[in-house]
Amino acid sequence: MLYGEEDKARIQSTAPIFGSKEEGQAIPLYRLGEASMDPRIAYRLVKDELLDEGNARQNLATFCQTYMEDEAILLMSETLEKNAIDKSEYPKTAEIENRCVNIIADLWNAPKAEKYIGTSTIGSSESCMLAGMALKFSWRKRAEELGLNVMAQKPNLIMSSGYQVCWEKFCVYWDIEMRVVPMEIDHMSLNIDQTMSLIDEYTIGIVGILGITYTGKFDDIAALDQRLTAYNNTTDYKVFIHVDAASGGFFTPFVNPELVWDFRLKTVISINASGHKYGLVYPGIGWVIWRDTSYLPEELVFNVSYLGGEVPTMAINFSHSASQLIGQYYNFLRLGVEGYRAIHRRTKDVALFISHEITNLGLFDIQNSGENLPIVCYSLKEGLDINWTLYELADRLAMKGWQVPTYPLPDNLENCVIQRIVCRADLGFNMAQEFKDDFVEAIDYLQKVKLESPKEVKPRSQGFTH
């Protein structure tokens, strides 16, 4: 074949990437390069840059989804350009969000006699900020009406020391005193007696956690509701519960519908959950619902234009893609109650299998077996004659690609170092079996080698908060 001048461009675009001028030299890392480059080469360079990063499917540290169906991915990539806040331009997307809010309110048993209201968010952190602000604003209104000097003291929010970092952020950003109830080794969730003793006129609310990030355990929200109802009957300074159900909100209603933790309890006024945890959507979607509009102060609601009129919104963020929202709706439509139940039950079976296998090794105390959320937590038994720690075990597992976080428990319990395995829908039985084999092999190795000296346990943490 003969080539003329005009074929240069074509030859360029079919030239192998490895061997191209751009690939053959160092790319500028911290400033813009002068020239543009072929999209294929740019794609390959970025893709390769990410190559040796942890493999998401083997990341047993995260609650966030690492798998979605091809149809969901297609739908989401086809809707990336839609801005979720442009309700006027994308009224169908707005309607889809509205349907999701209704579906979730129903899932959490919002009473028909009240007027629930809710919104999508970027994740539970944003949801918790909104719910926390609503608590603060409505507390202030009630307290002022009762004649309290609301400026005399910082308002406070009560929760267990197993809180997720977003609550610390909330308290710092909005100047709230965080009243923390320490967890205890034989309990590891909210101590209700201590919680009640911390309440005063400046308490904006109590956070109950459905799925403590550290261990996956549940606070006893029903018991808290009972105590709080009795307390509220004795005072004008009523206190209410927000449930942080980031991980449990999309799991428990399908797997343990009989567990009462949601709007069936009268003092539970708002609930959040992450769509990207057991709602089975890729990261970037959360939800928050209030049981009645009266718990969401008007000052926090802003109107945006919608079909020639206005629609109320509540969000910290403004522009963001609607694709996550659409992915959530796809899952609701595609899976239904049956689908979610089947997937979550299977995930729980896998968790129980893993904790059973780990128990059988005889070296570990199981902190959470996966019977509530499919989270397996364990620590090394005391008094074992071994010279390795959970940190060395984590390193051995990492050599096979498994990321298993090892960290000390909060406050009070910081001497207890645990490891946590978060089972997700895409950790199938076969993969779990492989994990178990690698786990056993890692321990065999550690038992055989003579580590120079027992390594000091330096309680350090690695990524367990998500």
Closest separation in Å from C-beta 122 to ligand PLP: 7
Distance of CA 91 to the CA centre of its chain: 28
Query: In the set 58, 124, 160, 355, which binds ligand PLP (CB under 6 A)?
Result: 124
Least spacing, CB of residue 429 vs ligand PLP, in Å: 25
Question: How far, in Å, CA of 193 to CA of 36, rounded?
Answer: 64
Count the residues of the shown chain that bind ligand PLP, applying the rule CB under 6 A: 16
By CB atoms closer than 10 A (0-12, 13-18, 19+), residue 221 is buried
> What single letter denotes the amino acid at residue 260?
V
Task: Determine, following the binding rule CB under 6 A, whether residue 97 of this chain makes contact with ligand PLP.
Answer: no
Please identify, using beta-carbon distances, which residue of 210 and 442 lies nearer to ligand PLP.
Answer: 210
* Residue selected from 76, 166, 281, 417 as contacting ligand PLP according to rule CB under 6 A: 166
Does residue 282 belong to the site contacting ligand PLP (CB under 6 A)?
Answer: no
Residues 6+ apart with CB under 8 A from 63: 213, 246, 247, 274, 277, 278, 422, 424, 466
Q: Which of 68, 188, 206, 246 binds ligand PLP (CB under 6 A)?
A: 246
Least Å distance, CB 281 to ligand PLP, is 11
Residue type, 441: E
Can you tell me which of 253, 286, 327, 374 binds ligand PLP, judged by CB under 6 A?
Answer: 286
Give the residue, chosen from 62, 161, 213, 368, that forms a contact with ligand PLP under the rule CB under 6 A.
213
Is residue 274 at the binding interface for ligand PLP, with CB under 6 A as the rule?
yes
What single-letter DSSP state applies at residue 388? Answer: -
> Does 249 engage in binding with ligand PLP (CB under 6 A)?
no
Figure out which of the listed residues 84, 135, 171, 209 binds ligand PLP, where binding follows CB under 6 A.
Answer: 209
How far is residue 328's CA from residue 332's CA, in Å, rounded to a whole number?
6
63 or 391: CB nearest ligand PLP = 63
With contacts defined by CB under 6 A, name the span among 90-98, 206-214, 361-369, 387-395 that binds ligand PLP. 206-214
Q: Where are the alpha helices (DSSP H) in 184-234?
A: 192-198, 221-232
> From CA 54, how far away is CA 404, in angstroms rounded?
11
Which tokens belong to 435?
């994990």
CA–CA distance, 298 with 213 (Å, rounded to integer): 32
3-state secondary structure of 170: helix
Please, what is the minimum distance in Å from the beta carbon of residue 401 to ligand PLP? 23
Burial of 136 (0-12, 13-18, 19+ CB in 10 A): buried
CB of 284 to ligand PLP, least distance (A): 9
State yes or no: residue 247 binds ligand PLP (CB under 6 A): yes
- What is the closest distance, in whole angstroms, from the C-beta atom of residue 283 to ligand PLP in the complex? 7
Q: Looking at beta carbons only, is 250 or 330 nearer to ligand PLP?
A: 250
Q: Give whichever of 15 and 314 is closer to ligand PLP, judged by the CB atom.
A: 314
Strand partners, 266: none
Give 130 or 442: the residue with its C-beta nearer to ligand PLP.
Answer: 130
* Options 28-36, 141-149, 170-178, 207-215: segment touching ligand PLP (CB under 6 A): 207-215
Region from 24-32, 124-132, 144-152, 250-258 binding ligand PLP, contact rule CB under 6 A = 124-132
* Site stretch for ligand PLP (CB under 6 A), options 122-130, 312-320, 336-344, 417-425: 122-130
What are φ and ψ of residue 222, in 5° steps? -65, -40
Backbone angles phi, psi at 331, to 5 degrees: -60, -45
Dihedral sign from CA coordinates of 259, 412, 240, 215: negative
Please, which residue, 396 or 420, has the CB nearer to ligand PLP?
420
Which positions from 5 through 64 interact with ligand PLP, judged by CB under 6 A? Answer: 63
How does 72-105 read in b/e, with b if 16+ C-beta sit within 10 Å? beebbeebeebebbbbeebeebbebbeebbeebb
Q: Which of 318, 282, 315, 287 is nearest to 77 (CA)?
A: 282
Closest CA to 221 of 187, 267, 284, 182: 267
CB of 119 to ligand PLP, least distance (A): 14
Element (H, E) at 346: helix 323-360
Q: Edge-to-edge strand order for the sheet containing 156-160? A: 117-121, 286-290, 268-274, 241-244, 203-209, 156-160, 177-181
Looking at the Cβ atoms of 286 and 408, the one nearer to ligand PLP is 286
Q: Which of residues 53-72 bind ligand PLP (CB under 6 A)?
A: 63
Comparison of 110 and 212: residue with beta carbon closer to ligand PLP = 212
Residues of this chain that bind ligand PLP (CB under 6 A): 63, 123-125, 128, 164, 166, 209, 211, 213, 244, 246-247, 274, 286, 466
